[in-house]
Amino acid sequence: MSLLSRIDHHTNLFLRMSEARNADVADALMHGRIDPQTLRSSVFRCMQCDETGKCEQWLDEDGEGPTPEPLGCRNRSLLERLGR
């Protein structure tokens, strides 16, 4: 997978996870609660994770299936902060 494809994939994964965690990233950017660098860093943190498959599976099950919520997300604290 090319670097741009990986960035696109993890951007999508991060945005899906933010939606599942009720964290409105677009609103946070628009109102200055995060800046573009924070968003980029979040995508790169996701890219460094070895367990993104667990996130994808959990998201594909809409958080309702047998897969437990991925608690080791590298962006968990940011998503929790934005979800409030």
Token representation of residue 21: 């965690």
pTM summary value: 0.87
Give the start-to-end residue ranges of the domains of the chain: 3-82
Token representation of residue 56: 């994808």
- Residue 68 in this model has a pLDDT that exceeds 90: no
Q: What is the pLDDT of residue 83?
A: 86
Token representation of residue 37: 């660098």
Q: What is the pLDDT of residue 12?
A: 96
